[in-house]
Amino acid sequence: MANGKNGTLYIGVTMNLPERVWQHKNHVNIDGFTARYDVHDLVWYQFFENMPEAVAKEKTMKKWRREWKIKLIEEQNTE
C-alpha cells in the first residue's frame, strides 16, 4: 500500500485482502502505521497458498531497497 506516487510504502499480510484494505482506508487502527502516514492505496498484492509463505515474503520484501519495491509495483501495475 502507498499514500501516493513517491510516498510512503507499507508491506503487510492478511487472510482477507478486501477487509484489510477497507480497514486501512478507514483508519480502523488509529495508532497504526497506515493511519499515521495516511497510507490507503493498494498498489500491489500477491496471493499465497499459506500464511507462513506470505510472512516469509513480507519479511524479505521489508528488507528490500525502496527502488526494488517501486520497480515491482511499476512492472505489475500500469496505472
* 41 beta partners: 2
> In this predicted model, which residue has the larger pLDDT, 7 or 50?
50
- Which residue intervals of 1-79 are DSSP H helices? 17-25, 33-36, 51-63, 66-76
CA–CA distance, 51 with 41 (Å, rounded to integer): 23
pLDDT at 32 over 70: yes
Q: What average pLDDT does the chain have?
A: 93
What is the pTM for the complete model shown? 0.85
Which residues contact residue 34 at a Cβ distance below 8 angstroms, ignoring those fewer than 6 apart? Answer: 1, 10, 24, 27, 40
Cα R_g (the chain), whole angstroms? 12
Band (pLDDT 50/70/90 cuts) for residue 79 is low
